[in-house]
Amino acid sequence: MHSQLDTPSGYTLMGSDTPPGMDYRPGRTVTMILHGDDEQELRGFWDGLRAGGTVITELAPQMWGDIYGECQDRFGVTWMVNISARG
């Protein structure tokens, strides 16, 4: 299942459970997606999330035009951060 929260700041916070084909790891069964277009603020969130955690995909420009990264925070929660290209 998926969930979505649109914040007053204009960000979208999304979550999902473990989809078919993905290894089930008790305690690590949720992925959070943080999406918005304020690059400076989202990079700040990224820095906080990866501190003490593990970077899976570096936060960098992607072929679809956005900036994207994935990390696992120090608590074992996986985060995907997507910064929309302004245009």
CATH class entry, domain 2-83: alpha beta
d(CA 65, CA 85): 6
Mean pLDDT per 10-residue interval, the chain, length 87 residues: 79 75 70 90 96 96 95 92 85
Residue 16: its pLDDT value, please? Answer: 72
Residue 87: its pLDDT value, please? Answer: 56
CB 22 within 8 A of CB 16: no
Residue 7: its pLDDT value, please? Answer: 82
Boundaries of every domain in the chain: 2-83
Q: Quick count: other Cβ atoms within 10 Å of Cβ 40?
A: 7
Does the predicted TM-score (pTM) go above 0.85? no
